[in-house]
Amino acid sequence: MSKKVLVLPGDGIGPEIVAAAETVLNAVNERFSLGLEITHGLIGGSAIDETGEPLPKATLDAAKRSDAILLGAVGGPKWDALPMASRPEKGLLGIRSELALFGNLRPAILYPQLAEASSLKPEVVSGLDILIVRELTGGIYFGQPRGIETTESGERRGFNTYVYTESEIRRIAHLAFQAAQKRQGRLCSVDKANVLEVTVLWREIVDEVAHSYPDVEVSHMYVDNAAMQLVRAPKQFDVMVTGNMFGDILSDAAAMLTGSIGMLPSASLDENGRGMYEPCHGSAPDIAGQDKANPLATILSVAMMLRYSLESQAAAEAIEAAVINVLEQGLRTADIASEGTTVVGTNAMGQAVLQALNS
């Protein structure tokens, strides 16, 4: 049976970067005879504009029927004034939650060609290869109760709930340990167990799961220290596992080590390997529609999709090699440009990857 891919371009730069990535996906589909069936849907602000909802039922239904989803980005100033429950971001959080995509893999790799683009010294980041495993469907992002209420004194009070059950911690821990087994065998769990009970439990469960993986060396770090270590000596990390909010923050920090957040792909997996693939960056409304955005994170997300959900390792490797080839040629979008390189737009970067793929 042919595998189904749902493409959700979203908002801002989403449509541009997804268009570039889709030409690459179409090319490998043909070249490796993958027989993928590719359809499109609405999500985020563009879905609000057309249907009134950030996650229309048609999109969710199509997503449930798909083996993999490629997503651009959601959100923008146009929808910022909407109440929290109907903002574009709810579409993204909704699809993550509805599809139970609890395991978010965010690899931060420094391509040697981009050492100059990193905000850290080349010797601090050269050879960097970190995998951040972020829990994606729980924690403070989804905890109840939440809201803004008016107290008896007439003052308003905002509140969220940081909560994890044992089973939620256990399944993300297993995913992270298994990822570490396939890499250097080192896992650092990030928490705030000196202050937050929920992460005291997190630490306890990670240690319990560790017994099943004696070949993985486990360590624990408080999130404030982890943020500092990421910019001080990032190469000490192999795999990091953490909750939803800490993972959101640390992955942006890790992204800058690689030169640009425009380079960071991600995979969000359910228990059965179905996944949604998206760049870690946002919709960048300031450069939307200007052919300036870096499509490489989205193109690399396609590679992750082929590897994790579509069982096509060869196609994944071909895309990754093509990206390296293009960087080697000195082609750069503005976010990763440095002296002596050639700045190209979104479309041209996509075409260059396509050409490298076919060469």
Which residues participate in catalysis according to the annotation? 141, 192, 224, 248, 252
**240 touching ligand IPM, by CB under 6 A:** no
**41 touching ligand IPM, by CB under 6 A:** no
Alpha carbon 287 to its chain's center: 20
Q: Are 202 and 189 in contact (CB under 8 A)?
A: yes
The residue written with tokens 């429950």 in the block is 85
**168 touching Mg ion, by CB under 5 A:** no
**92 touching ligand IPM, by CB under 6 A:** yes
**263 touching ligand IPM, by CB under 6 A:** no
d(CA 209, CA 116): 40
Instruction: Please state the closest distance from residue 234 (CB atom) to ligand IPM, in A.
Output: 19
**89 touching ligand IPM, by CB under 6 A:** yes
Instruction: Give me 34's structure tokens.
Output: 């993958």
For residues 290, 294, 297, 301, the Cα torsion angle rounded to the nearest 10 degrees is 50
Q: Which of 16, 22, 238, 248 binds ligand IPM (CB under 6 A)?
A: 248
**282 touching ligand IPM, by CB under 6 A:** yes
Instruction: Please state the closest distance from residue 280 (CB atom) to ligand IPM, in A.
Output: 6
Residue 222: what are its φ and ψ, rounded to 5°?
Answer: -70, 150
Instruction: Please state the closest distance from residue 321 (CB atom) to ligand IPM, in A.
Output: 27
Maximum distance among all alpha carbons in the chain?
70
**191 touching ligand IPM, by CB under 6 A:** no
Identify which of residues 92 and 175 has a Cβ nearer to ligand IPM in the complex.
92
* Per rule CB under 6 A, count of chain residues that contact ligand IPM: 6
User: How many CA atoms does the CB half-sphere of 18 hold within 13 Å?
Assistant: 27
Identify which of residues 89 and 248 has a Cβ nearer to Mg ion in the complex.
248
Identify which of residues 287 and 322 has a Cβ nearer to ligand IPM in the complex.
287
Give the type of residue at 170. Answer: R
* Stretch 201-260 residues interacting with Mg ion (CB under 5 A): 248
d(CA 103, CA 334): 31
Residue 262 contact among ligand IPM, Mg ion, none, beta carbon within 5 to 8 Å by kind: none
The residues, any chain, with a CB within 8 Å of residue 146's CB and separated by 6 or more, are 159, 160, 161
d(CA 305, CA 104): 13
In the complex, the residues that contact Mg ion under the rule CB under 5 A are 248
Interface positions with ligand IPM (CB under 6 A): 75, 89, 92, 248, 280, 282
